[in-house]
Amino acid sequence: MACCAAALAQGGEMQFAYKGNPLVRHLYTADPSARVVGDRLYVYTSHDQDSSEKDVHFDMLDWRVFSSADLKTWTDHGAPLALDEISWASKQAWAPDCVGRNGKFYFYFPVEQTKIGVAVGDSPAGPFRDALGRPLVDNTNNIPVVGREPIDPGILIDDDGQAYMFFGCRDARCVKLKENMVELGGEIRPVVIKGIENDTENHGGWYGEAPWIFKRNGIYYLVYSNGWGKDTTMLYATSPQPMGPFDFRGEVMSPSRAGTSHGSIVEFKGRWYVFYHDASLSGGDGKRRSVCFDEITFAPDGSINRLEYRAPQDVE
């Protein structure tokens, strides 16, 4: 895997075919954020290193982006941004998101478990450049407001044009963004999820991390993870309002047994898909994960028909 990853990090592209899950087999990827731009679907991921060790705390160095027009033939666009291109960050290039607006593409990235930055580019595949030269969100001396770990940004641009950013590990937060997408447009607020008050870490609807927000038929869906154990998975809650409060609804899917659970849900060409990660390519090593995707469906009342995860059998 290392030779392919090194070549792509220098700006090259590589075509590959989808052979079933996991989607990406030539390097380790995690935390997929799936976005549709025109007739293509783009997947933004974090990047577990080949050399990642079980006792290292997810020390990742860059991000990756992949795209497809048919979910069969894919392009690996390489690394659109890396830690060594960010003057104020030095470690932990974790789960990103990216959205387009006014002809530009805005790439949101967490670093150092304490900050979220934003970079901008002219293409959904990057490259992206740091837009501010400083964090957009930083919990230094402000943990009560920002939360203990402001990571995992997830963006929604609503039908009225208002943009929102959801984020946070253990402490779920949301904030409006200004139209320029690089400034906060209001106060950072806690996200309220009703129906999980008695749940505990790694169980039930407890909020752990990885917020993803989308809208379908007038309903706002907040997707998230309930922790870091082998049985943790992606959950969801719904609301008629973009910032909640949300009502807990249940599991998006059964556990993929990667130790972490982080993903996204997107509509593409009339069908809905969930992107997530497992640890099948590495033989179960939760520090070397792999992006997967499957089609999902909805019940008439808007609830998500729970997906049953099936471990890939043909991974080499």
Q: Is residue 90 part of a domain?
A: yes
Task: Provide the residue range defining the domain that includes 76.
Answer: 2-296
11 confidence band (pLDDT: 50, 70, 90): low
Q: For residue 28, is it within any domain? A: yes
Residue 309 lies in a domain: no
More confident residue, 50 or 246: 246
Residue 110 forms part of a structural domain: yes
Q: Which two tokens stand for residue 224?
A: 């998230």
Is the per-residue pLDDT at 3 higher than 50? no
124/56: higher pLDDT: 124
What DSSP assignment string belongs to 120-155? EESSTT---EESSSS-SEE-TT-HHHH-SB----EE
| 6: confidence class by pLDDT, cuts 50, 70, 90 | very low
pLDDT at 57 over 70: no
pTM of the model: 0.94
| CATH code of the domain containing 76 | 2.115.10.20
**What is the C-alpha to C-alpha distance for residues 204 and 220, in angstroms, rounded to an integer?**
20
Distance CA 253, CA 275 (A): 11
Asked if residue 80 has a cis previous peptide bond (ω within 30° of 0), the answer is: no
Q: Which pairing describes strands 246-251 and 193-194: parallel, antiparallel, or unpaired?
A: parallel
For 229-253, what is each residue's pLDDT tens digit? 889 999 999 999 999 999 999 999 9
For residue 305, being part of any structural domain is answered with no
Q: Is 311 part of a structural domain of the chain? A: no
Instruction: Give the percent of the chain with pLDDT over 90.
Output: 88
* pLDDT score recorded for residue 7: 42
Supply the pLDDT for residue 10.
45
Q: Would you please indicate which residues are annotated as catalytic (active-site) residues?
A: 31, 209
Is residue 127 in a domain? yes
Whether residue 198 contacts residue 209, with contact meaning beta carbons closer than 8 Å, is answered with: no
More confident residue, 207 or 10: 207
Q: 275, exposed or middle or buried, with CB in 10 Å at 0-12, 13-18, 19+?
A: buried
State yes or no: pLDDT of 255 exceeds 50.
yes
Residue 56 corresponds to which tokens in the numbers above? 């290292």
Contact of 62 with 46, CB cutoff 8 Å: no
- Whether residue 117 lies inside any domain: the answer is yes
Which residues, other chains included, contact 270 with Cβ-Cβ below 8 Å and sequence gap of 6+?
none
Domains: count for the chain: 1
